[in-house]
Amino acid sequence: MTRTRHPVLAATLWGGFIAGTLDIGAASVISGYNPLVILKYIAGGVLGKAALAGGPAIAVLGMLLQWGMSIIIAAIFVLATHRHIARTRNWPTWGIAYGVVIFFVMNYVVVPLSALHATPHFSTYSFIANLSAMLVFGWIVAVVAKIFMTARNAVENPSLSGSP
């Protein structure tokens, strides 16, 4: 069982890091681009098209931005659900539903407002693939939140965990 003094913080950080890192791999598979190119596109959200010609430092900036956004996304979920997630069996549904929200916010708010000023243009494949990636992202955040919040509940309320 995972025990920590700060389960909300741990769930947020671990959920953000894991989901954000795997999201880079998913974007790479979906687009066919090298993960370093994906990271440059992420940095391009702040720096504009010049980031695409950048080197390793730009890719590192992209990774830091990715993790930052992922941690914020995870924090919203964890803070909204941490009081209830350990006591419900519906947490996978909450995570997948959150993935839908993430998909629409990222594609129709964040990306168009970025320095790249991109507008969503999906083929059927890329729409389904990108939506699926965000469903998995939300699910991962929910799994990590469930793990840490269940551990917290077990520590705070041993009678609820089934142990004597």
Map tokens 């006591």 to a residue: 87
Residue 31 located in a structural domain: yes
* Span 87-131, pLDDT tens digits: 888 889 999 999 999 999 999 999 999 999 888 888 999 999 999
Mean pLDDT of the chain, nearest integer: 90
Q: Kindly state whether residue 79 falls inside one of the protein's structural domains.
A: yes
Q: How confident is the model at residue 82 (pLDDT cuts 50, 70, 90)?
A: confident
DSSP 110: I
Distance of alpha carbon 75 from alpha carbon 15, whole angstroms: 9
Domain membership flag for residue 102? yes
Residue 85 included in any domain: yes
What's the pLDDT at 3?
65
Asked whether residue 160 is assigned to any structural domain, the reply reads no
Indicate whether 40 belongs to any domain. yes
Burial class (CB in 10 A: 0-12, 13-18, 19+), 129: middle
Query: For a pLDDT cut of 70, what percent of the chain falls above it?
Result: 90
| Domain assignment of residue 162, yes or no | no
Estimate to the nearest angstrom the gap between the alpha carbon of 17 and the chain centroid: 8
Domain presence at residue 149: yes
From CA 161, how far away is CA 35, in angstroms rounded?
41
The whole-number pLDDT of residue 72 equals 98
Residue whose entry in the numeric block shows the structure tokens 């083929």: 123
> Residue 161's pLDDT is what?
47
Domain count, the chain: 1
Cα separation, 67 vs 49, in Å, equals: 21
- Residue-number span of the structural domain to which 39 is assigned: 7-155
